């Protein structure tokens, strides 16, 4: 859905609209960036000073950040050395204190044995907490999680199953991050068990009649066995 008055292809719903072009050419097409803060306005590529901004223009790639009423000001994409400043500006411009994230560590090691996965989780949690989000951690192998594809396996012959309690904690968060090692090119057995139990609850509906996972965010942290990292 485009804005009726916009002649460009940058008007996309909900997300900030960004259009890219290169010096010496016409618009090459729409590129979607999820930007957390407005771009700083610069002059056209190669110009000395952006009109009304007092900010030097730059050659090369430029972008147009869309506004709800159409196309926005011309802005230069962040250059080398600016990433840290942009990240800082973003953290200061937005408040994420109303968001919560739960990390599920699917390491094969029980507590208190050190987990390489948890070391990487700590880095990710620090980023979220620096932005104001609250985080929590579950080490799945420390809990008595029954095997199966039902929400509560005690209804299907198992004497105990702590999954319903863990599921309640997971559903209390806005963001779920599954974390675990890669063995022989595959997820750990604990990760597979957690995914099976998440799948077991996928048919549950919320109060609006939507699937319970609707509107939530998922992520993954996976340290490899050769210091490789997939996110």
More confident residue, 30 or 228: 228
Bridging pattern class, strands 100-105 and 134-139: parallel
pLDDT of residue 85: 56
Where b means 16+ CB within 10 Å and e means fewer, 31-63 reads eeeebeeebbbbbbbeeeebeeeeeebbeeebb
pLDDT band at 181 (very low <50, low <70, confident <90, very high): very high
pLDDT band at 39 (very low <50, low <70, confident <90, very high): very low
- Please say if the pLDDT value at position 170 is more than 90: yes
- Please say if the pLDDT value at position 49 is more than 80: no
Share of the chain above pLDDT 70, in %: 57
* Rounded Cα distance, 22 and 59, in Å: 9
- Please say if the pLDDT value at position 179 is more than 60: yes
- Please say if the pLDDT value at position 3 is more than 50: no
Q: Which residues are paired to 29 by β-bridges?
A: 20
More confident residue, 183 or 200: 200
Angle at 120 between CA 151 and CA 220, to 5 degrees: 40
- Please say if the pLDDT value at position 180 is more than 80: yes
What DSSP designation does 119 have?
Answer: H
pLDDT band at 16 (very low <50, low <70, confident <90, very high): very low
Could you read off the pLDDT of 95-154 as tens digits, one per residue?
A: 899 999 999 999 999 999 999 999 999 999 999 999 999 999 999 999 999 999 999 999
Angle at 101 between CA 96 and CA 107, to 5 degrees: 150
What DSSP designation does 51 have?
Answer: T
Share of the chain above pLDDT 90, in %: 53
DSSP 196-230: HHHHHTTT-B-TTSSBTTTT-EEEEEEE-TTS-EE
pLDDT of residue 92: 61
- Please say if the pLDDT value at position 203 is more than 80: yes
pLDDT band at 224 (very low <50, low <70, confident <90, very high): confident
Question: From the CB of residue 99, how many other CB atoms can be counted at a distance below 10 Å?
Answer: 16
Averaged over 6-34, what is the pLDDT? 38
């Amino acid at each position: 859905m485009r804005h009726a008055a916009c002649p460009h292809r940058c008007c996309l719903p909900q997300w900030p609209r960004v259009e890219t072009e290169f010096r010496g050419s016409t618009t090459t097409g729409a590129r979607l960036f999820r930007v957390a803060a407005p771009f700083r306005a610069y002059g056209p590529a190669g110009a000395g000073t952006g009109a009304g901004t007092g900010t030097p223009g730059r050659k090369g790639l430029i972008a147009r950040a869309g506004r709800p009423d159409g196309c926005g000001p011309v802005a230069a994409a962040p250059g080398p050395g600016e990433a840290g400043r942009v990240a800082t500006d973003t953290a200061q411009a937005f408040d994420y204190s109303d968001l919560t994230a739960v990390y599920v560590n699917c390491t094969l090691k029980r507590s208190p044995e050190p987990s390489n996965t948890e070391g990487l989780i700590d880095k990710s949690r620090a980023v979220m907490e620096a932005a104001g989000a609250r985080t929590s951690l579950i080490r799945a192998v420390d809990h008595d999680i029954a095997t199966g594809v039902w929400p509560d396996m005690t209804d299907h012959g198992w004497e105990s199953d702590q999954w319903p309690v863990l599921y309640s904690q997971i559903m209390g968060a806005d963001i779920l991050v599954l974390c675990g090692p890669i063995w022989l090119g595959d997820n750990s057995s604990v990760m597979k068990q957690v995914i099976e139990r998440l799948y077991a609850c996928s048919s549950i509906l919320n109060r609006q009649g939507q699937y319970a996972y609707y509107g939530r965010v998922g992520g993954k942290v996976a340290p490899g066995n050769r210091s490789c990292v997939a996110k």
